[in-house]
Each structure stands twice: as structure tokens, then as C-alpha cells.
Structure 1
Amino acid sequence: MAERKPKRQRISLGGPAVDTSFEDYLTGKTTEVSSEEEEEFDQENQDPADKFGEDEDEDELEAQPAPSRSATSSTSRAPITNPSDLILRINAHQNNTPHTSAKNISYLVQVWAVFGEVPVETTRLLHVPATLLFEQFSQAICASLDWHEIHLWKFSLEQRSKTYSALNNKYKYPDERRQIANIKDCGVGGMHNPGADLASPQDLDSKKVRLMDIWNDTQAPEVRRLRMFFTYDCYGDPTSAAVNFMGVAAEGLQAADLGIKVQKGQAVWCAGGSGASVPVDVPEDEFDKWEAGANKHEWEIGDVNKYLAEIKIKV
């Protein structure tokens, strides 16, 4: 029997395509791969049950009717393509899956700030509990990017196209044509609550939806594959960050295992990243002055983790 090559892990934090482990990413060790190797990687790691968006044309944005379930196969399942059905799956998971089912699970999530041409991409790799509410996740993103969280914000969920690749720089930008839902503070008394008569079925309450309701392995693959963006000051001068799910963290992984200092019991911490934070509240007539004197590479992981330690976690 021919020896089977071990599956590679793909980590994308901006720049060229790389095959690397999480540990290699932290130490800066990467290996560039060719387009042929990328295609081989995707074929090796494709989940047969996870074919959402494969047959979708890049310019065809209308959801197509799902094929009927085969009466002869108990294991087949028609892919979910209707946006309202995807939202229903999120609501069902939120209401029917207890947080205790993921209380010891943590995720690695990359936050990639979206700007134009920049010398260094601003990214942060966060270690977060699966049970974290999106309300608290917004605080973690703002803290990691040194955004002050004084403006309204939202998370948007988008369907992927057939040609999507996290390694392609153009896909770090939001595409409102593919947006199916927003997660924001829209509950009773929430900042985004416009009143019951104006409420949208596309709006999900950030005080109720947890990270596990999107990314847990008990969720439908089509939901887990949705693209996510965080937008700060979404009704003023918006600034966005792509939010990329990197996978489940190794069980019991601690910041100390990576040589990172955090407070005892700190639930959310930064494991790495790149690029200085770009401020979002600098007046336009002062931005050129800030940019001229800023070091685009310099940032302190210790400072980020100090800010993250101030977040009050409800899990």
C-alpha cells in the first residue's frame, strides 16, 4: 500500500500562499507553494459534505433552489442555499445547543484589518472561547486593533463564491451583494434597535449569538463556511476587518505554552499578528502627520493582551 502523505495545514495571514503549522506561523517559518500545490491541498482536505458554493457562478448572486433529497439514501443531504434557511440554522443552534457542550473548546480566529495599499497588513490572531458572545467578541476585536469602541459596530455574514480563497487579497473586502445577515446589538434596548416595526429578520442579536453558533462542528457546514466581517462605525466612516476562523485550538493550549504572558485565568488572548494598528479616530487633516511619523511594523503583543484582560467574559 502506498504511503499516504499527511494532510497539510493552511494558515493565511496575508501575503503569499503558505503551508505551515500554527507553531511555524508564530516563529515565522513558512514555505511558499505553487498554484498546483494549492489545488492539490484543497482536493486533499475537501469535506465531501461541505460543498457550499462550489457550483455557484462568480456573478450569479441569486440563491438557487436546493436539489431534493434522495429517497434512497439516508445519509445524503441537500446543500443549504437559501439565505433565510441559513439564518434559521443559526437561530436553531443558538436555542437548542447548550453552551456546556463547548465549554472547554477554544478557537483560533484571525482578524485582518481592511485598508487600501499598506506596507504591512494589520492582523491579530486571537485565542477565544467557543462560548464567547459576539457582543464580547466585538470588544476583543476593538481591543486588539486599538479601536476605542465608541461607535456602532456589526458583524456581517456573507455567502462565498466558487472562486473564493482566503489567500486572495481581494477577498478580504466585504461584498454587500452576498450578505445574508448581520450580528449586532439589536435586542431590547440595544444600540441598533430601531423598534419592532422596523426589525429585520436578517438581524441577529449579539447578546445571544455565540461563536459556537457559527463555527462549532454541530453547526451545518454551509453556516460554518460563511465569510465574516466586523465593521466599526458602520453608519459613519466605516472601517472593516475580515474575521477568519482558523480552527479549533489544541486542547489545553495556554498562552504560557507559546511564551506569552497573560493574566491568570484570562479567557481571551492574542497569540500573534503583524503590523501596527491604524487608528480610526484621527481627524482627516491630521492623518498624514500621524502616518509620516508612525512605524508601520511596530506593535506590542503585551499591550494587546493587557487590553484584552479587561474584557468581562460571560460564557
Structure 2
Amino acid sequence: MSPTYAPPGQLWLLPQSQQEGLDVDRTKVIEVVEQAYRALREGGSQNPVKTIVDGPADRSLSYSMVARDAGSDTVCFKAVYEFDPRRTRDAYRFQSFVFLVDDTTGAPIALMDVVKLGPLRSSATTALFARAARPDARTALVVGTGVQGQMALPMLVAAMPELERLQVFGTYPEGLRAVQDSVEGREVETVTDLREAAGGADVVIGAAGLSATQEVRRDWMKPGSVAVLLGYGVHADVCHGADHRIATDTAQMHATCDDLRGPDGELPTVDAQLPDILLGRAPARRSPDDVVFAYNSGMAVTDAALGRYMADLALAAGRGDKVNFW
């Protein structure tokens, strides 16, 4: 039986401040996100392609998504707005939320701030890509030190505890310190030569923002490595020059990655999608020496599943505020 999140006529609000300090289990997060992808093929989940609006002169970026996660019977409506996404005006602003509804009762669950929920599910997806494409990896490099970069390595270690060497490349001292402190009991090495570091990494994670000044190139990467792109920091020539290309969803990739298109405006063929890889229906690589490119585009079905997990944690902890809304 579904729990009661708010009385009729009221809406349960979960701002980020009410989500801080929840007992989030990273292994469980990976499991929840993996099951959401599997259910897209086996469980009747749905995830239409997102709708995107670009402001004039790169002033803003907005997009919305809707999805249904069959595993938790949760419907999710998500909206994101970024002002000054390329950091050219020194006025960056980010707002995002999800509205969750219980699809068994029709009752609202919560309106949640997802400033960290989004990076949490993205980092779990990155870990799933890396584990599938390079399960024997020993060295991982993350490019970028924002929220995405700070969550990437802890989630990767949760999925691949045998990793021996963790590295980060970035330009902001505070961000570098945050990444270094993100993995308890493990050393994270700050690198200054991106080309050298990328050449020795089994897993490269492009988690930088639009203002990234350096990007990993295809000819820097060693045979057998995998590059996962969920932001910036991995050049388009890795996508075009990879031996094997995988994505969370091909249609979503075509809708969101115009910066990866070649001079002819085209994208190379995607060889496999993550739900099929997780179900053993498609390979994460064809050869041990393949350089694999993985495109991690956010999918609202994982927001629905992980949002429900976080909402249940918050409910058990007595978090949030109920307001008269309807």
C-alpha cells in the first residue's frame, strides 16, 4: 500500500535543504537507476524525448520532461531552467524541480528541488556505463569539478570498488577540493596535464560545464578505455572516432547533443543503448581494445524512480512542508 505523503488538497514540498543529510545509500541509488533503465524494456515504463528551448544569444536554456517508472508506479514531470549557461555574463542561475505522482492512487507525492537529485542519477548512470564497458578498470579521471564532477567519483567507486587510482582535472580550487574530499578514505589526485592523464585512464568522465576550456581528444585515449560524456570535457572527435558508441537513448542523444555533430551536421551511429546493455541484449564493446564513447543524457524515468526513493527517505525522516495548494 502506498504511503500518504500529504492530505487531500495539500502538496508536500521538498526543497534541497530538506533533502540534505538523508541516509542515501549509493549502492541502492545505482540499483534503483539500473532497474529504471531495465523497466524501459521489460516493465512498461515510458520516457518521451525532452522538449528544449534555447534563449537568444545563449542567454538561457530550458527543457522539460515527463516519464513513468513502472517499477515504482511513479509519474514524473520535470522542468529545468538555466540562465547564462555558458557563463559568459557571470550571472549563472539554475532552477529545477520534479513533480511526482503515485500512478496507483492518482495522489501527488511531492514537489521536489532536484539540484542534486539530477546529478545523483546522472552519476549512477555514468557508473553503470563504466562498469559495463570496462569492468576491470583501475584508473578513472573526471574532468570538471561542479556538482556533477563532485558526485561522479563516489558513485563510480560504489559501483567499482576495485578502482585503484582516482584523478580529477579542473580549474576552480574550491571545486577541486570538493572532489578530493568526495570519496571517503580514498585519495583523489589533481592532475594538471589533461592529455597525459587521459592517456593513462581506463575511464574518462566528461562532467564539466559549458565553460570548459580543455577537452579530452580521441588520440589521447588508450586502447580499451571508455569516455562517458554527461556534460563537457570530452571532445566531439571522441564520439566520431570511437570504435564503439553507446548511449542511454539514441533519440534523446539526437535531441540534446548538437555540439557533437560533425561538419556535415550528422552524428555517427549509436551501436547500443544502455537498457539493452544492462539486459544483455547488446554489447558495451565489441573488442577488448575498443575505445568506447558513452553519451549519458538525462532521462526522466530515472528522476521518477530515484525521486520516489528520495521521497520515501524524506518521509521516514519527517522532512518537508505541507502547504494548501488545491
TM-score of the pair, normalised by structure 2: 0.24
TM-score of the pair, normalised by structure 1: 0.25
Point out the structure with the larger helix share. 2
Point out the structure with the larger strand share. 2
